[in-house]
Amino acid sequence: MMRKDIRFPCMATALLGALLIAVPQAQAKPGPHAPHELHVQAQSSLDVAPNMARLNARLWERTPAVARSKADNDTQALVEARQRLESRTGKLIRALEEAGVKSDDIKAGSLSVHPEIIAHSREGDNAEDQVRTQIARPISVTIHDLERLPSILDALTAAGVDALDGVEYDLKDRDAATDKALSKALERAKQKAQLMAKTLEVQLGDVIRIEETQSPTYAPRSMMMRAESADAKSAPEYRAGEISIDAGVSVTWEIED
């Protein structure tokens, strides 16, 4: 008896196709809905009046000018210039202490030595440039009471400083000022979010993300010293102005269903 092989090519192909279609459809099932969010960015600027300052001054002495070829042998003049500078520095520090500045608020920097070339016109074969050496020392004074700034400046001038590099205004408590600027930025973000939620008629949920977009930092305010009045007999006035502190935040709220 002969056995007949029965094949169903069309049915097998259809069944395989149905399985291939069913698998991706099962993988494409949508998951849970992502929460609705309200994203807000805000910035703030805080103006603070400075309550301290630093004065930067310089003293220097120079050696006599000598021919460039003899400059290496002029060590005695260099020693004498340094002695004069140290003597003037001591007098300046004592004058500041007499003006009421504490010793801890006076900083005398390190000595710096700079050669200076004095060029001359070349009128003959023996013409030679001259050289002198400048020895300088910076002095920094911290002032905790800004009302005493004019009297301290008078003491510096009377002591014969060679240069006053200006006033640098600052804050005694930097952390408190930067924290206040950051709080102001966060309050601004909250106000914006509440306004947007009210306008769109949605309900704010929990805060789910907070980031700083700009760290609240600032630079001390520098100002050159000058008299505000043209009358030379009147006392000079120094305006500290205000220091600006900027901060920025990014806050995300969940929107309740």
* pLDDT tens digit sequence for 118-135: 866 555 556 677 888 899
CA triplet 239, 240, 243: central angle to 5 degrees? 145
Mean pLDDT of 244-248: 94
**At residue 22, does pLDDT exceed 50?**
no
Query: Hey, what are 145's tokens?
Result: 């009471």
**At residue 36, does pLDDT exceed 70?**
yes
| Class at the top of the CATH hierarchy for domain 36-49+174-229+236-256 | alpha beta
Top-confidence residue, 237 or 182:
182
* pLDDT tens digit sequence for 186-245: 999 999 999 999 999 999 999 999 999 999 888 787 765 543 333 444 445 566 778 999
* pLDDT tens digit sequence for 42-101: 999 999 999 999 999 999 999 888 776 666 666 888 899 999 999 999 999 999 998 889
For the chain, the domains span 36-49+174-229+236-256, 52-118+127-170
The CATH topology of domain 52-118+127-170 is Alpha-Beta Plaits (3.30.70)
Query: Hey, what are 50's tokens?
Result: 């400075």
Q: Please state the φ and ψ torsions of residue 23, each to the nearest 5 degrees.
A: -65, -55
- What's the predicted TM-score (pTM) here? 0.65
**At residue 102, does pLDDT exceed 90?**
yes
Q: How confident is the model at residue 4 (pLDDT cuts 50, 70, 90)?
A: very low
Tell the burial category of 115 from Cβ atoms under 10 Å away from its Cβ (0-12, 13-18, 19+).
exposed
